[in-house]
Structure 1
């Protein structure tokens, strides 16, 4: 397992809100720029940009035999259609710039996720590569906080696996008159209920490894997304709340 870590100020993080949270370019899937696989990727991306925002999700493919490309795009379930569209357009442009010669590429934004590969991955849980963002500040009452966090995560994970929710769960818990805990989980919609529950369990079980007693944490996998904060981050937003002072990042490779 290989990890990279960096820490940045929250002000800088806000200024980079339009930049990806991270990307994964599989170096074991090198392709030639003028080849058929590369051409199919280029032909597929405009379709993804055009079609994803209407439903907030798209799973598709193009080509045949050794040149087939599978793709999945999904927006966070609480964002508007316009925000979804903007995010997916950015993703389709950036993914080829950042992973120009790979058949397997993934890119994460705050509002959306995009992935394509020459191997079929639809319906399969993938936690082989993960990105973890965490608040560098610790909570003052770890025992009480972790109890409330666990209860909230259990509640929204149960919500996410209900068919009508399409993999999305979100909620909040008032910890004190001055502090509220917000959390959101989401699976990609190609997963079954059992697979969604499995991915979310893996993400939450990694909290002690990367986000132990932290005021905020984000787990980004190819199949699910988990986040909690002591400030509002999902829509509709609670007003008059502020974000953390600093955030850190860890990327975990298989």
Structure 2
């Protein structure tokens, strides 16, 4: 009798496996809008403001409210950026979220969900917190700083791999980040993604990204990108580097982190800049 039951179970296993696999594939397709998921939640930086005399329970309640509002906005397929604010018992919270434009809506939401959980690593009595991932940026503050472009918090993270004796790599990286610095503040939406081949490298490319927060001014975006550009001097022979600030994010990598069809044509912005630079006083 036991052998018969075991045989029946073995016969049903392929069906159970197929049913599970089929349901999982349907769920994945529906959840991820038919694309491979990659929310790019590699942590770049977590920063928490100092603790104060804030009521932690009230702060937690307000933060929950603003995070729910941010997520509701991001869920709208037209958005990659959102702000929210709330006040309770005279305690204000101003929150901001932005994901990279190349992420799908599902991946943008996934990046937000990871950030919303991990931002709570800051104390409930902290005046603010900021989280930077490869794919998104979340911050909350007790003061309205949506238009702030830069502050001393900015820094750079160089990749742990280098390419030695590669002047072509260094010069191409310099060209890429210079182009990002020029184009990002001038293009509508403050977002640029480029792919640039490295000469004499057997197919090596530099993928570059520049992005400013939607609520900063063009001048603020330029200031933020200029600071990011200066940081990259220490990383030019690394295969990857990321510079972050309160108002912008710049990255390059020899590994593709967005699809080739998601690059930005910045040629007219570079030509316009070159033309204005060549004009006499």
TM-score, structure 1 normalization: 0.77
Summarize the Cα distance change of 1:228–1:193 in structure 2 as closer, same or farther, 3 Å threshold.
same
Shift of 1:122: 1.1
SS at match of 2:179: helix
More helix by share: 2
CA RMSD of aligned residues (A): 2.5
Counterpart-to-counterpart distance in 1, 2:252 and 2:53: 36
Kept in 2, the 8 Å contact 1:186–1:225? The answer is yes
Q: How far does residue 194 in structure 1 lie from its aligned partner after superposition?
A: 1.3
Q: Helix, strand or coil: the match of 1:34?
A: helix
2:71 pairs with 23, 38, 49, which one?
49
Say yes or no: does 1:72 pair with 2:96.
Answer: yes
- 1:31 maps to 54
Cα distance, 1:76 vs structure 2: 0.7
Q: Higher Cα Rg: structure 1 or 2?
A: 2
Work out whether residues 184 and 234 of structure 1, in 8 Å CA contact, stay in contact via their aligned partners in 2.
no
Relative to structure 1, the CA distance from residue 121 to residue 133 in structure 2 (aligned partners, 3 Å threshold; closer, same or farther) is: same
Structure number with greater CO (CA < 8 Å, separation at least 6) is: 1
- 1:110-166 deviation line (CA, Å, top 9, x unaligned): 2111111111111111332235332223233454333222222222333322342x1
The aligned counterpart of 2:232 is 207
Q: Is the 8 A contact 1:53 1:88 kept in 2?
A: no
The offset of 1:44, in angstroms, is: 1.2
Q: What are the ranges of 5 or more consecutive residues in structure 1 without an aligned counterpart? A: 1-16, 239-254
- Runs (5+) with no aligned partner, structure 2: 1-39, 263-281
The Cα of 1:218 is off from its aligned counterpart by 1.0
CA separation in 2, counterparts of 1:232 and 1:212?
Answer: 17
In the alignment, which residue of structure 1 is the partner of 2:191?
168
User: Which range moves more in the overlay, 22-31 or 88-97?
Assistant: 22-31
- Alignment partner of 1:185 out of 210, 235, 238: 210
Moved over 6 A (4+): none
Distance 1:141 1:168 in 2: 32
Q: Report the counterpart of residue 252 of structure 1 in structure 2.
A: none
The normalised TM-score by structure 2 is 0.70
Q: Any conservation in 2 of the 1:44–1:62 contact (CA below 8 Å)? A: yes
Name which of structure 1's ranges 82-91 and 211-220 shifts more when overlaid on structure 2.
Answer: 211-220
Residues of 2 paired with 1:204 and 1:168: CA distance? Answer: 15
Residue 195 (structure 1) shift: 0.8
Q: Does 1:108 align with 2:161?
A: no
Q: In proportion to residue count, which structure has more strand?
A: 1
* Distance change (3 Å), C-alpha of 1:227 and 1:18: closer
CA contact (8 A) 1:48 1:73 kept: yes
Query: Which secondary structure state, in structure 2, belongs to the residue aligned with residue 208 of structure 1?
Result: helix
